[in-house]
Amino acid sequence: MVAKAIIKFVEGESNTIDWPSLMDEMCERVRGRKLFLVLDDVWTEDSMLWEPFRLALQNAAQGSRILVTTRKSEVADVMGSAKRINLEELSNDDCWSIFSTIAFSDRDSEQRKDLEEIGKKISDKCKGLPLAARTVGSLMRFKSRKEQWEMVFYSRLWELQDVEQFIFLKIPFSGENVENHGRRMENDVSVLNALEPPPGLEKLEIVWFQGTTIFPNWMMSLAKLKILTLTDCENLERLPPLGKLQFLEVLLILGPNFPLKNVGVEFLGIESKNKKDGIIKIFPNLKTLMFGFLREWEEWIGIGGQEKEDCIIIMPCLQMLQISYCPNLKSLPDFLFKTSLREFEVNYSPILSERYQRGTGEDWAKISD
């Protein structure tokens, strides 16, 4: 992908597919050109992958420079960097500033006062890493109970030392004991279907659910449900028809053990019989949609030709879409860019980042208006 991006930037698209030919083409395209190449957030330590790049880029003109950013000193060793600039971790105050700005967004002063002490302890555990502060802050933003915050703080998963492992923490947000997640699949389904939540429930979190389906009959009766979080549903390969939740405002779908590969029309909850009812609104009140750490996710398809039908309105109130650590996701459905979207954020999802790259991405025009 990097090689194709370099070739595209220098002289346009390439139809070359096989790796050796791609390296040869890149070698010729950069020959004699003065380059300033930025490789951001490199994780690969495999010298066998870097060596063909190094040899091809040696054909660039004298004075060319390559700037690499990474969190791993081993990457710098493999790349044979001429000069290293080691950035220090953030101070506790700066880390807290990032964490608190996100985690306490839209909270009143009373809530902030109640959660601030435990929040600072969680922020300190981010060890001065800005991405960790931002990621954990985003996840805590919709957690209102103090005991939820305390459980995150006391989780043994903070003991992981490797940054890459840390970013993919399986933090227990639901209030359950981590030791008790060995329940069998059928028990999970029975427990979920047997629940009788209060009709005024506004927030629902389902964590480490082992069943293959996750749309109990009572969920549609939750007329006041505004915030829904699905985390690490290890056997759920298809999302339930969440578009039927008429009052939902915030939806978070998080991994990393979610086996989800495709998101399709079933997620929207559109049924052919509904079309006879006139205008159909899907996710009519959804304002915030976040997908994170879905490493298997490859496709998010829309509704095909139905997208052109005036009778179907999808996510008319959507304001924020965030997609983080979905490295295999290839594209987004067109209906997302017909919404009232104000904030569109892609983090560490390289295929999407290239596709929607400002000015040069093939789908940049869809979000530039």
Q: What is the pLDDT of residue 99?
A: 94
pLDDT in tens, 92-104: 999 999 999 999 9
pLDDT in tens, 28-54: 888 888 888 888 777 777 777 788 778
Higher pLDDT, 1 or 122: 122
Q: Which of 70-84, 180-194, 239-253 has the lowest mean pLDDT?
A: 180-194
pLDDT in tens, 244-289: 999 999 999 987 778 899 998 889 988 655 555 568 899 999 999 9
For every residue of 86-101, DSSP letters joined together read: -PPPPPHHHHHHHHHH
Q: Would you call 126 exposed, middle or buried from its count of C-beta atoms within 10 A (0-12, 13-18, 19+)?
A: buried
Q: What is the pLDDT of residue 124?
A: 92
* Rg, C-alpha atoms of the chain: 23
Q: Would you call 46 exposed, middle or buried from its count of C-beta atoms within 10 A (0-12, 13-18, 19+)?
A: exposed
Q: What is the pLDDT of residue 258?
A: 84
Q: What is the pLDDT of residue 136?
A: 85
Confirm if 363 and 356 have CB atoms less than 8 A apart.
yes
Give the relative orientation of helices 109-124 and 130-140 as an angle to the nearest 10 degrees: 140
For the chain, the farthest-separated pair of C-alpha atoms sits apart, in whole angstroms, at 71
The chain-wide mean pLDDT, for the chain, equals 79
Q: What is the C-alpha separation between 315 and 335, in angstroms, rounded?
A: 8
Range list for CATH 1.10.8 in the chain: 92-167
Residue 172 corresponds to which tokens in the numbers above?
């227990």
pLDDT value at 177 more than 50 = no
Confirm if 255 and 285 have CB atoms less than 8 A apart.
no
For the domain spanning 184-367, the CATH number is 3.80.10
For the domain spanning 92-167, the CATH number is 1.10.8
Range list for CATH 3.80.10 in the chain: 184-367
Percent of the chain surpassing pLDDT 90: 20
Higher pLDDT, 5 or 286: 286
Helix, strand, coil distribution of the chain in percent, nearest 5: 40, 15, 45
Q: What is the pLDDT of residue 93?
A: 94
Report for 26-40, 185-199, 294-308: range of highest mean pLDDT: 26-40
Q: What is the pLDDT of residue 193?
A: 67
Q: How many CA atoms lie within 13 A of 215 on its CB side?
A: 13
Confirm if 293 and 255 have CB atoms less than 8 A apart.
yes
38 forms beta bridges with 67
Percent of the chain surpassing pLDDT 70: 79
Of 219, 264, 216, the residue nearest 239 (C-alpha): 264
pLDDT in tens, 310-336: 688 899 999 999 998 899 999 898 888
Going from the C-alpha of 83 to that of each of 78, 87, 262, 343, the distances in angstroms are 13, 13, 43, 37
Q: What is the C-alpha separation between 179 and 176, in angstroms, rounded?
A: 9
Q: Is the N-terminal amide bond of 333 cis, ω within 30° of 0?
A: no
pLDDT in tens, 335-354: 887 887 888 888 888 898 88
Higher pLDDT, 81 or 319: 319
Confirm if 224 and 200 have CB atoms less than 8 A apart.
yes
Residue 99 corresponds to which tokens in the numbers above?
């964490």
Report, as an integer, the average pLDDT of 152-177: 49
pLDDT value at 307 more than 60 = no
